Amino acid sequence: MMDHTDKQIDSYFSGEMTQSEKDIFLAEINSNPALKKDFVEIQNMMGLLSFSYRPGDDELAFKKLAEFKNRLKHRKHRKMTFSIMKYAAVIALLIMSTLYLSKNENFISNDKKFTEIEALAGQQVHMKLSDGSSVWLNGRSKIKIAHSFNQKQRVVLLDGEAFFDVKKNHGKPFIVKTKRYNIKVLGTQFNVFDYADKSLFETTLLKGSVQVYEENKENHSIFLAPNEQVFLKDNKLEKTTVKSVDYSTWKNGIMTFDSQPLRKIINKLELYYGVDFVIAGNISLNDLYTGKFKMEDSVQNILSAIQKTNKFKFTIASDNKTIYIK
C-alpha cells in the first residue's frame, strides 16, 4: 500500500496538491538538507521533461522518482506532516531573515511597513500573494511587499529577477517597481530582470500585456505583447521579439540560453551563483551560445559544457568566488 509520503510526492508532481499543501510540503523538504538535495535532483529531472530531450529520458526520470520514494522509506528523518504550526514557523523565519543592504542597494530601504523576502545565491523562492498572484524569486533577488498590499493598490518593489503570474483585477493594476523602471499590468505572466548593482534590465512577456515606463513618465511608456521583450541598451529601452518561454524556465530549476552572447551568460552566472569573473585572455565575449542547464549544477560544470563549443580555459580561485577565463 502506498504510504502517506508516497501520496504527497505523487500529488505534488501531478499538480493535485493545493497551493497551501504544496508550500507546506516544500517547507518540510527544505528543512532537511539531505532530503532537499535528493528532491531537487528529482524536481529538475521532472522539469527537464517539458523540453525536447533524448528518447528514454522520461523513463529515467520516473525510475529516479521511484528510487527517491524508496530512499525516503528507509531514511531516518522526521515524518513529513501537514502541520500548520510548523508551516507558520517556517514562514515567520523567512520573513524575519531581513535583507542585508549595502550602500549600492538603497532602492529597497529598511521600512517596517513592508515585508522583505530574499532568495540567496543559487536558490529560488516561490510565494503566493494575498490577491492570488504568484511570484517566483531567483537567486540573489529581493522583493518588498507592502503590508497594505491589495487594499487600495498592488505594488511590489523588486531588486533582482522574478517571474510574476498576476491575477486580473481591473480596479487595482499590479505594479512592479525596480531601480530603473516600473512595470504595470492588470493580469498576465511576465519576467523581470533588474539587479540594482548591475547594468542589465529586461522585461519579457509570456501572456497578456505590460506597460514599462520610468517613474513619473508614464506618458512615455513601452507596451509589450506576448513573446516581446524590452531591454536596456546604451541607456535606452529597446524592444525585440524573443522565445519568451526561455525566460521562465529558471523557476523550474532550468537555466536556458538561446543564442545568448557569452558576456550576458557570464553576467547572469555572477548574479545567480554569487561569483566574480575575471577575463584574463583574448576571448570573444560576443560569441553566441545555446543550451539548457540545471540550476543546481555548479558553475564549473556549466562552464565545462560551454567550453566544449568554444576553446577557452578557466580556473577557479581557492575561495570558489573568483573565476578566471582566458
- What local confidence, expressed as pLDDT, does residue 118 receive? 87
Contact 131, 169 (CB under 8 A): yes
In a domain, 10, yes or no: yes
User: CATH code at 109?
Assistant: 2.60.120.1440
The span from the first CA to the last CA of the chain, in angstroms, equals 57
Cα distance between residue 162 and residue 138, in whole Å: 6
My answer on whether 77 and 129 are in the same domain is no
| Most confident of the following: 29-38, 59-68, 86-95, 253-262 | 253-262
Q: Would you give the DSSP letter of residue 7?
A: H
Q: Which of 46, 31, 18, 36 is nearest to 72 (CA)?
A: 36
Place of cell 528529482: 42
My answer on whether 224 and 110 are in the same domain is yes
User: CATH code at 316?
Assistant: 3.55.50.30
Contact 266, 277 (CB under 8 A): yes
- On average, the pLDDT of the chain sits at 76
Q: What's this model's pTM, rounded to 2 decimal places?
A: 0.65
Number of separate domains in the chain: 3
Contact 146, 131 (CB under 8 A): no
Tell me the pLDDT tens digit for each residue of 96-120.
Answer: 333 322 223 344 445 557 888 888 8
Q: How far is CA 276 from CA 8, 29, 114, 230, 312, in A?
A: 40, 31, 31, 26, 17
The boundaries of the domain holding residue 161 are 98-246
pLDDT beyond 90 at 239: yes
Cα distance between residue 178 and residue 108, in whole Å: 9
Tell me the pLDDT tens digit for each residue of 26-70.
Answer: 666 666 666 666 666 555 555 444 333 344 545 655 666 666 666
